[in-house]
Structure 1
Amino acid sequence: METSKTSLSARQDRHGLESTGDYGSIQSKSGSPVTELVKAQPSTTWRSYIWDTLDKSPEERRFLLKLDGVLLTFASLGYFIKYLDQVNINNAFVSGMKEDMALFGNELNYMQTCWTVGYVLGQVPSNILLTRIRPSVWIPTCEVVWSVMTILLAKCSTTTQLYVLRFFIGTAESAFYPGMQYIIGSWYRKDELAKRSCIFHASGSIGTMFSGYLMAAVHSNLNGVHGYKGWQWLFIIDTVISLPIAVAGFFLLPDLPEITKAWYFSPIEVDIAKKRMEFEGRANRAPYTRAKLKRIFSSWHIYLLTALYVFFNNGGGFGGQPAFQLWLKSKGHSITEINTYPTITSAIAVVATLVYAWTSDTVFRGARWPPIVFSGVVNIIIYSSLAAWDIPDGWKWTCFLLSSLGGGISGLTFAWAHEICKDDNEERAIVTASMNEMAYVFQAWLPLLIWQQVDGPEYPKGYATMVGVAIALICTSFAIRYLQHRKRGGM
């Protein structure tokens, strides 16, 4: 296990700050100790409803400005390129790849499944590694790997090559989302966490949206250039965009507060970060023991939080199928329209995600379940309508466009997990990885049953199943709320 070898007092002496080795006596430039710069109970005036840093001390505000500027920027750009590289297969498929490679069966399902299997296998081992090695080494390395592999998709001539590459791309990408959620949960307080988790998650919707615009532009301007089809150029350009962002992570990712060596933080800001997590009761890293593992796997945390995320992740998105695009194609729309109209759905997802985050942190005072239940109710209405299918085209447009409203709660589920598991760092890492992993375990096989390519765009089994999943999401949310209140002595 990696630990900092520089003592607190030595760091302070080297920078000319007064210290006797405890938080209360560490002095900032203004002469205030860290215990005065960081409050045990953050203020909640009207300004906090706009942005949560506005009521905090200048020193803590300066620290959060740096943290947001670096960590959130890197997390969002990284998730943007992950989703860009993940969903490009759908845009390529409906933009000539299907016809050029004669993919007229369920090959798209199999490509999605190969990616999912790799994604599933890597998540828990990756998050366990993050509790032992520096995230600033592990996560950027995985990003470089999947970025390079994406460009190789342009040279595939057989479905076997596609399947193999998609498997290894999924394995490399498995480190990013649960890993970054774990890192975000290691730096932010309860009144800050949902907004950051949701801003991070929203960048995936931006990646989906941008992929559609990119495919439309590539098809119009690069199709046939140097002998490559438009869908092949999509993979090439994805890598050109992704690789620089991946390399930047080696220099920007701040690791965790207890081991950070980030060049942009001063010693006093590192100590502010540690004190903030101390007030939150968020545990530092500790050894894995048999007793710890027994405690983790005998608690309701891992099972109900995982179930919640399984229902969220498999309760929308059409099982990875381009349902909206296929419906547009069946209506005779052009390639450009097929790739650009669905980006409206992604834009709606971004707005909904941010609304969920702000209302959870402010209006509901940190409660995560109300927006989650709301999204479940919306899904019941939307997918019941699509299951009927014989509905006016105007309402069908509405259902497709609003189908992304349920996708904005991912950050809330992770924020909830960080708060529930705050007493054990290793439990937090394992639970967050398990949530994402098991969600994709179901995603590996469920679409093969209910979202078959040959059933599109009607998907009678898929839409009906989504109604049941939404009901399960709502019930699980209430169960977690009850058990969390009972744990706190609130019930």
Structure 2
Amino acid sequence: MLSSTWRRFKLVLWGESPPSKHERILLAKIDWFILSYCCLMYFSNYLDRSNISNAYVSGMREELNMVGTEFNKINTIFTCGYIVGMIPNNLMLQVISPRIWLPCMQLVWGILTFCTSVVKNVEQIYAIRFFQGMAESSTFVGTHYILGSWYKPKELGKRSGIFTSSGLIGTLFSGVLQAAVYKNLNGSAGRSGWRWLFIIDGIITLPIALYGFFVFPDLPRTTKAFYLSDEERVLAYERLEDIPVLEQAKSRPLSWSLLRRVLGRWRWYACSLLFAISGETESFGSNNLMGQWLKAIGGYNVEQIDFYPSGMTAFAIVSTLVCATWTDHTQVRWPVLVYMSIACIVSAICILVWSSPTGLKFFAYYLAGASYAGQATTFAWANQICADDDQERAVVLASMNMWNNVVNAWWSIVFYPATDAPRFRKGAIAMICVSVATLGITWVVYTLERREWRRREVDGVPFEKADPRTKDGPTEKERTSIAKD
């Protein structure tokens, strides 16, 4: 009885085990070496990215004489660099070994993090953050491209969730780290606590990059990883080619035909629009609204202002992991976007009603952490939709994040300026609007995906082959509905 319960729990938590012992060993190896590096890389990425918010409320604003919306401009300039680097970074993975390219980009942003510790004015931060954004743009979509190259759809959601959570852990750790640094190192060697934060972040980042040079396995067809035998290297790509539709996804030379394929299908437009809008539900967390609110209303010391917003990040991690596990078990992605949209609407309403008690506002900000659950699910969904064209998949994944950051470049200045603290009325209204829009766009992507299934059925492709890389395809209820259509 106990053994049967454990097996069912394990099935839901980690999915069905591969049928052969050799594949189980291979999956364990790539889980360890791919996820360990990607998660550590993304952890340091978010640590370096979120430290600017923690530094701002921990003395940087006063020391650099920052006024008005200069903090928002730092985020906007970082986003501009992120946008510029997005698609080139992902296409470089088609040309240069990911084992070389990704750690090199990490070394670049680690060095730039060190540079931030010695800035004398906000203009120097502007320049550093632009180039840091270019380097850091390699990580998120690059890793989702790598994950989609190694894993089947029923394995992909939870791995994407673990990866996304590692970035959130970086954010969580950044707040805790800044509080500890401010308490123990502020004034040491003549440096402010916020400057020590950037030094420690850089020290954490560089060894992770060196680890990537040694252990990252590249792609299944090109891997030369020392820990994989010749048989395992062959199995790594053959296990994905068991499904005939995946034959179309084999690597091909870069050419202008890629542009025709991308622009001639619905996938690029719909998936890009989905994350461009749904990604803005993360605005409460990405702009550290809770920290700015606590600082503006007074009554909280620096350690509390750094530490209390960690509750939002903790809830984001739990939401991401639970939702990612559930989507792999059910092979249905869209309900996660519905969950996060409703949570963000409730959160925004609680914050918008300014007469609400402080405890309810704490609850509202923490609930807004649900918005991060959509990251892993949206990119796992796009990986699955585009699985039959490797190059299109690389462009679509990069474009999703690129268009989201195009919106990010001006979104925080318009709706979340630091001068609006502590109320952020415009921001709360904007959150309700983007959450409702996310619900609508989710329905559009779901409908277009069903239409593609239906077209494949008309073309004579069986349902079990219609949904790339998965034997499940649409559910039995969806099959009946599509047949009626």
TM-score, structure 2 length as denominator? 0.90
Q: Does 1:297 align with 2:260?
A: no
Distance change in 2, residues 1:351/1:319 (3 Å): closer
Q: Does 1:183 align with 2:141?
A: no
Q: Does 1:344 align with 2:307?
A: no
Matches within 5 A, 1:55-94: 56-94=19-57
Q: Distance between the aligned counterparts of 1:50 and 1:367, measured in 2?
A: 15
1:57-85 residue CA offsets vs partner (Å, 9 max, x unmatched): 22111111111111001111000000000
Q: For 1:455, which of 413, 420, 426 is the aligned residue? A: 420
Q: Distance between the aligned counterparts of 1:123 and 1:420, measured in 2?
A: 20
Q: For 2:14, which of 46, 51, 61 is the aligned residue? A: 51
Q: Which moved more, 1:450-459 or 1:386-395?
A: 386-395
The alignment partner of 1:277 has SS state of: coil
Matches within 5 A, 1:111-130: 111-130=74-93
CA positional deviation for 1:56: 3.3
Q: Does 1:434 align with 2:399?
A: yes
Q: Distance between the aligned counterparts of 2:16 and 2:224, measured in 1?
A: 23
Asked whether the 8 Å contact 1:47–1:54 carries over to 2, the reply is no
Paired position in structure 2 for 1:218: 181
Q: Does 1:360 align with 2:327?
A: yes
Q: Distance between the aligned counterparts of 1:156 and 1:417, measured in 2?
A: 40
Asked whether the 8 Å contact 1:47–1:55 carries over to 2, the reply is no
Paired position in structure 2 for 1:152: 115
Asked whether the 8 Å contact 1:317–1:404 carries over to 2, the reply is no
Query: What do you get for the CA RMSD once the two structures are aligned?
Result: 1.4
Asked whether the 8 Å contact 1:379–1:406 carries over to 2, the reply is yes
CA positional deviation for 1:284: 2.0
Q: For 2:196, which of 220, 233, 249 is the aligned residue? A: 233
Matches within 5 A, 1:297-336: 297-318=263-284, 320-329=286-295, 330-336=297-303
The alignment partner of 1:278 has SS state of: coil
Q: Distance between the aligned counterparts of 1:110 and 1:449, measured in 2?
A: 11
Q: Which moved more, 1:311-320 or 1:387-396?
A: 311-320
1:219-257 residue CA offsets vs partner (Å, 9 max, x unmatched): 111111111000000000000011000111111111110
1:292-333 residue CA offsets vs partner (Å, 9 max, x unmatched): 321211211001101111122112232732210122222411
1:407-431 residue CA offsets vs partner (Å, 9 max, x unmatched): 1121111111111111111000000
Asked whether the 8 Å contact 1:181–1:432 carries over to 2, the reply is yes
Asked whether the 8 Å contact 1:53–1:61 carries over to 2, the reply is no
Q: Which moved more, 1:474-483 or 1:324-333?
A: 324-333
Q: Which moved more, 1:431-440 or 1:308-317?
A: 308-317
Paired position in structure 2 for 1:173: 136
The alignment partner of 2:240 has SS state of: helix
Asked whether the 8 Å contact 2:285–2:369 carries over to 1, the reply is no
Asked whether the 8 Å contact 1:153–1:162 carries over to 2, the reply is yes
Asked whether the 8 Å contact 2:55–2:194 carries over to 1, the reply is yes
Paired position in structure 1 for 2:4: none
CA positional deviation for 1:158: 1.4
Q: Distance between the aligned counterparts of 1:276 and 1:338, measured in 2?
A: 49
Paired position in structure 2 for 1:279: 242
Q: Distance between the aligned counterparts of 2:326 and 2:285, measured in 1?
A: 28
Q: Which moved more, 1:427-436 or 1:444-453?
A: 444-453
1:71-114 residue CA offsets vs partner (Å, 9 max, x unmatched): 00111100000000001001001001111111122110111111
Distance change in 2, residues 1:96/1:187 (3 Å): same
Matched-pair identity in %: 39
Q: Distance between the aligned counterparts of 1:172 and 1:291, measured in 2?
A: 28
Q: Does 1:204 align with 2:167?
A: yes
Instruction: State the one-letter code of the partner of 2:443.
Output: F
1:121-175 residue CA offsets vs partner (Å, 9 max, x unmatched): 0010111111122101111000000001101111110111110001111111011
Asked whether the 8 Å contact 2:292–2:418 carries over to 1, the reply is no
Instruction: State the one-letter code of the partner of 1:297.
Output: L
Asked whether the 8 Å contact 1:198–1:409 carries over to 2, the reply is no
Q: Distance between the aligned counterparts of 1:279 and 1:328, measured in 2?
A: 55
Instruction: State the one-letter code of the partner of 1:165.
Output: I
Q: Does 1:445 align with 2:410?
A: yes
Q: Distance between the aligned counterparts of 1:312 and 1:350, measured in 2?
A: 17
CA positional deviation for 1:194: 0.4
CA positional deviation for 1:45: 6.8
Q: Which moved more, 1:282-291 or 1:439-448?
A: 282-291
Paired position in structure 2 for 1:405: 370
The alignment partner of 1:316 has SS state of: helix
Q: Does 1:109 align with 2:72?
A: yes
CA positional deviation for 1:387: 2.1
The alignment partner of 2:355 has SS state of: coil
* Aligned residue pair count: 446
Asked whether the 8 Å contact 2:333–2:378 carries over to 1, the reply is yes
Q: Distance between the aligned counterparts of 1:108 and 1:315, measured in 2?
A: 20
Q: Distance between the aligned counterparts of 1:459 and 1:266, measured in 2?
A: 56
Asked whether the 8 Å contact 2:43–2:170 carries over to 1, the reply is yes
Q: Distance between the aligned counterparts of 2:19 and 2:120, measured in 1?
A: 57
Paired position in structure 2 for 1:248: 211
Distance change in 2, residues 1:45/1:138 (3 Å): same
Q: Which moved more, 1:45-54 or 1:78-87?
A: 45-54
Q: Distance between the aligned counterparts of 1:99 and 1:305, measured in 2?
A: 41
Q: Distance between the aligned counterparts of 1:109 and 1:270, measured in 2?
A: 47
The alignment partner of 2:117 has SS state of: helix
CA positional deviation for 1:202: 0.5
Q: Distance between the aligned counterparts of 2:224 and 2:204, measured in 1?
A: 27
Q: Distance between the aligned counterparts of 2:345 and 2:401, measured in 1?
A: 23
